[in-house]
């Protein structure tokens, strides 16, 4: 049987595919638009694998999706494809509405239609939708962690687009009986993350002795999840999750942005002492972005109790692995940060390099 993955050339998607093949050989078809953050080189180890196929296309192309369903008859769709950067959604929300909402709608419609024509496949089929903790809004400093029953309160166009997609997925299960599952994850970090996000941006800027821009006072709190722990949770949900359920996945690693950047600096001081500076001296505080959520934190007791999942990495161990990966793969960063990405950063942030 085959798995259809959408957005599998992006950060989490490519890690999921590599992790998938590390645990087995079930074929994967990867449908990816290959936008600025989709990088086929992430999956270079699978280039000659007969079990892997990359299809360049958009989830909103219903004719293409229909042809892939008919050709491969997948037992599951794992839906990563999304625009995912909050700052980009503030500067240009159109793409977020198009991809995250309308793209998810198109994929759901094609999956529903295909299962209606292939009813014998319904019992074994799963539609796994990958979402975010940002749909829940912002937590007060002393508030309990988000649970699966926390009301949605998105505060950015990105978060609103993902919340809309979540609601569509839920509705297709309850209205049409589509066998769906949703995973809401906290902030991921690890190899292959596009350097518009905090951790890779700070690593690469620090290596180059560039400023390390932090919004506001750096007091915003995130719950950090090593990407391969997230991948293992998705595999667990796909194999054992209860149809129609949502599962929160987090790392129980609440850190302020300033704590994260200082930890990166300490690791780089250790790894690159020849730079002759303390990397923390590069930290620069910049004007906060609009609607910046103060705190996220995930309660993952449901997936722990029902499916036996827990993260394997601490923040310290995961960050050490992440820093080492970027130090060992400088050519990857050079290739992905040129062209359209650099133009966008220069247009919207000037010389600050903020993301």
Average pLDDT along the chain: 93
pLDDT computed for residue 281 by the predictor:
94
Residue 348, pLDDT above cutoff 70: no
Catalytic residue set: 133-134, 158
173 Cβ contact list (under 8 Å, min separation 6):
179, 180, 243, 244
pLDDT computed for residue 199 by the predictor:
97
pLDDT computed for residue 343 by the predictor:
59
Two tokens at 41? 């080189």
Q: Quick: pLDDT tens for 20-29.
A: 999 998 999 9
Is there a domain that residue 66 lies in? yes
Is there a domain that residue 262 lies in? no
Residue 309, pLDDT above cutoff 70: yes
pLDDT computed for residue 16 by the predictor:
98
Is there a domain that residue 266 lies in? no
Rounded to an integer, the average pLDDT of 222-250 is 98
Secondary structure (DSSP) of 99-116: IIIIIHHHHHHHHHHHHH
Q: Quick: pLDDT tens for 65-104.
A: 999 999 999 999 999 999 987 888 888 899 999 999 999 9
Is there a domain that residue 196 lies in? no
Query: Regarding predicted confidence, which is higher, 194 or 258?
Result: 258
pLDDT computed for residue 290 by the predictor:
86
Is there a domain that residue 57 lies in? yes
Is there a domain that residue 322 lies in? no
pLDDT computed for residue 110 by the predictor:
98
The pTM for the full model equals 0.93
Q: Quick: pLDDT tens for 240-282.
A: 999 999 999 999 999 999 999 999 999 999 998 866 789 999 9
pLDDT computed for residue 325 by the predictor:
97
* CATH number (domain holding residue 179): 3.40.50.720
pLDDT band for 341, please (50, 70, 90 cuts): low
Is there a domain that residue 234 lies in? yes
**Which candidate, 256, 246, 257, 260, places its Cα nearest to that of 300?**
246
Residue 114, pLDDT above cutoff 90: yes
**Which candidate, 136, 240, 127, 121, places its Cα nearest to that of 185?**
136
Distances (CA, A) of 95 to 59, 155, 158, 167: 13, 17, 10, 19
When divided into structural domains, the chain yields a total of 1
Rounded to an integer, the average pLDDT of 318-331 is 96
Give the separation between CA 282 and CA 288, rounded to whole angstroms: 18
Contact 325, 191 (CB under 8 A): yes
Supply the range of the domain harboring residue 146. 3-188+227-251+295-313
Q: Quick: pLDDT tens for 2-21.
A: 999 999 999 999 999 999 99
Residue 355, pLDDT above cutoff 50: no
pLDDT computed for residue 120 by the predictor:
95
pLDDT computed for residue 352 by the predictor:
43
**Which candidate, 80, 76, 253, 88, places its Cα nearest to that of 180?**
76
Residue 318, pLDDT above cutoff 70: yes
Is there a domain that residue 265 lies in? no
Residue 347, pLDDT above cutoff 80: no
pLDDT computed for residue 353 by the predictor:
39
Residue 37, pLDDT above cutoff 70: yes
pLDDT band for 339, please (50, 70, 90 cuts): low
Give the separation between CA 179 and CA 118, rounded to whole angstroms: 14
Residue 350, pLDDT above cutoff 90: no
């Amino acid at each position: 049987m085959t798995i259809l993955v959408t957005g599998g050339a992006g950060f989490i998607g490519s890690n999921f595919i590599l992790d998938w093949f590390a645990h087995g050989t079930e074929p994967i078809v990867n449908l990816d638009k290959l936008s600025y953050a989709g990088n086929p080189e992430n999956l270079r180890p699978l280039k000659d694998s007969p079990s892997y196929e990359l299809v360049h296309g958009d989830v909103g192309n219903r004719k293409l999706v229909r042809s892939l369903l008919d050709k491969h008859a997948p037992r599951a769709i794992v839906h990563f494809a999304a625009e995912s950067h909050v700052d980009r959604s503030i500067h240009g929300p159109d793409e977020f509405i198009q991809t995250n909402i309308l793209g998810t709608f198109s994929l759901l419609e094609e999956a529903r239609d295909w299962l209606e024509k292939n009813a014998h496949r319904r019992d074994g089929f799963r539609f796994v939708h990958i979402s975010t903790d940002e749909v829940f809004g912002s937590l007060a400093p002393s508030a309990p962690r988000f649970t699966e029953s926390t009301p949605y309160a998105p505060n950015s166009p990105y978060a609103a687009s993902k919340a809309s997609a979540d609601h569509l997925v839920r509705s297709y299960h309850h209205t049409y009986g589509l066998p769906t599952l949703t995973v809401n994850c906290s902030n991921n970090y690890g190899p292959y993350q596009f350097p518009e996000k905090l951790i890779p941006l700070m690593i690469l800027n620090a290596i180059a002795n560039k400023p390390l821009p932090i919004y506001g006072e750096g007091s915003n709190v995130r719950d950090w999840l090593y990407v391969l722990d997230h991948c293992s949770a998705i595999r667990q949900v796909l194999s054992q999750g209860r149809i129609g359920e949502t599962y929160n996945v987090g790392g129980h690693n609440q850190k302020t942005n300033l704590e994260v950047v200082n930890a990166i600096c300490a690791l780089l001081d250790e790894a690159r002492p020849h730079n002759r500076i303390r990397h923390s001296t590069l930290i620069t505080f910049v004007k906060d972005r609009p609607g910046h959520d103060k705190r996220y934190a995930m309660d993952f007791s449901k997936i722990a109790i029902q499916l036996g999942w827990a993260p394997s990495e601490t923040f310290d161990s995961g960050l050490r692995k992440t820093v080492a990966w970027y130090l060992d793969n400088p050519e990857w960063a050079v290739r992905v940060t040129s062209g359209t990405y650099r133009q966008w950063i220069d247009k919207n942030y000037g010389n600050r390099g903020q993301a």
